[in-house]
Amino acid sequence: MDPLVSTQWLADEIGASDLRIVDASAFLPEQKRNPALEYEACHIPGAVFMDLANLVDTTAPVPNTLPSAEKFASRMQSLGLGDGSRIVLYDDSPVKSATRAWFMLTMFGAQNVALLDGGIAKWKAEGRPCAQGRETLRHRHFTVWSDESHVRSKADVLRNLKDRREQVIDARGAGRFTGEQKETNPALASGHIPASRNVPYASLFRPDGTWKSADEIRALFDAAGVDLSRPLISSCGSGMTANVLIFALHLIGKDDVSLYDGSWSEWGADPATPKETGPQPAVQPA
């Protein structure tokens, strides 16, 4: 299964015994939308709902932190996602939350995970069927396993400021990156991690919500001054849209990319962390 599948591919595959479809919609508080209610009102037939808002480490000091392997496996089993499942994720979210679900599933050992290109919006625009209510599947075994080699902590990012082994990329919009747009949380400073490069996650999509081509994705990172020959750390506001950049890079064959899970929610709240404001330095011609 390719990492990105079309609505036609999914329509042809629905009903396969090993296929699991997952609605992984999640919204920011200011968007004032309820993903569970929207799922119950209309979802792709057979899809289960992955509650990302509660699939977190509730003991962590910052919001939206990755859960333990045990908690994740238990939740996947209850959804009917198990070892050997082919999993197709979609969302109807402005923050493209299915990429967060993709990152977690691959980190916690799922082997065959894809995103639906265009999400449920494209599915509905094509007049394809929706189901109502909640789907329940029988429990399946999901092995407890975790590979945290692609997760970075605040200490890792601080260390990286000195050795510069990895280049930091920031998925937030340009206004938040430069500091011209203030954070909605008044406890957070404005600006960005020093020496990071800005690739706004929304720039990776066409107007209809489908992903841009591999060549277009590569060109966006190049234009932002991202050195694709180096390992990267992806950051954002709260660890959500950073996964959009990670998935986009996966589409072009680059997988030495890590997630700064605390992102600006952690970095911006700490008075001791260094911060920069203003635009990133211009990219020098080769």
Would you say residue 242 has pLDDT above 60?
A: yes
User: Tokens for 226?
Assistant: 């991202």
Active-site residue (options: 236, 245, 246, 257) = 236
Strand, helix or coil for residue 131: strand
Query: Are the C-beta atoms of 73 and 142 separated by less than 8 Å?
Result: yes
Q: How much is the pLDDT for 63?
A: 84
Q: Are 83 and 143 in contact (CB under 8 A)?
A: yes
Q: Which has the minimum average pLDDT: 91-105, 185-199, 270-284?
A: 270-284
DSSP letter string, 202-225: GGGB-TTSPBPPHHHHHHHHHHTT
Beta carbons within 10 angstroms of residue 213's beta carbon: 12
Q: What local confidence, expressed as pLDDT, does residue 284 receive?
A: 63
Same fold, 4-146 and 149-267: yes
187-192 contacts: CB < 8 A, separation 24 or more? 187/269, 188/264, 188/265, 188/268, 188/269, 189/268, 189/269, 189/271, 189/275, 190/268, 190/275, 190/277, 191/268, 191/275, 191/276, 191/277, 192/264, 192/275, 192/276, 192/277, 192/280
The conformation of residue 187, written as its DSSP 8-state character, comes to T
SS3 278: coil
Please report the pLDDT score of residue 285 as a whole number.
Answer: 60
Confidence of residue 283 (pLDDT cuts 50, 70, 90): confident
Which CATH entry fits the domain spanning 4-146: 3.40.50.720, 3.40.220.10, 3.40.250.10, 3.40.50.1100? Answer: 3.40.250.10
Domain boundaries along the sequence of the chain: 4-146, 149-267
Q: Render pLDDT for 13-72 as a digit per residue (tens, 0 to 9).
A: 999 999 999 999 999 988 999 999 999 999 999 999 999 999 999 999 888 899 999 999
Tell me which H or E stretch contains 176.
Answer: helix 174-178
pLDDT attached to residue 211: 98
Q: How far apart are CA 104 and CA 66, in angstroms?
A: 8
Any idea how long the chain is? 286
Tell me what the mean pLDDT of segment 139-166 comes to: 97
Summarised one tens digit per residue, pLDDT across range 79-90 is 999 999 999 999
Beta strand pairing call for 48-49 and 197-198: unpaired
Average pLDDT over residues 267-283: 93
Class of domain 149-267: alpha beta
Give CA–CA dist 87/122, Å, rounded: 18
If we measure between CA atoms, which residue out of 112, 111, 81, 113 comes closest to residue 100? 113
Q: What is the pLDDT of residues 1-11, one digit of tens each?
A: 999 999 999 99
Provide the mean pLDDT of the chain.
96
Tokens of 90: 């979609």
- The answer to whether 42 is a known catalytic residue is no
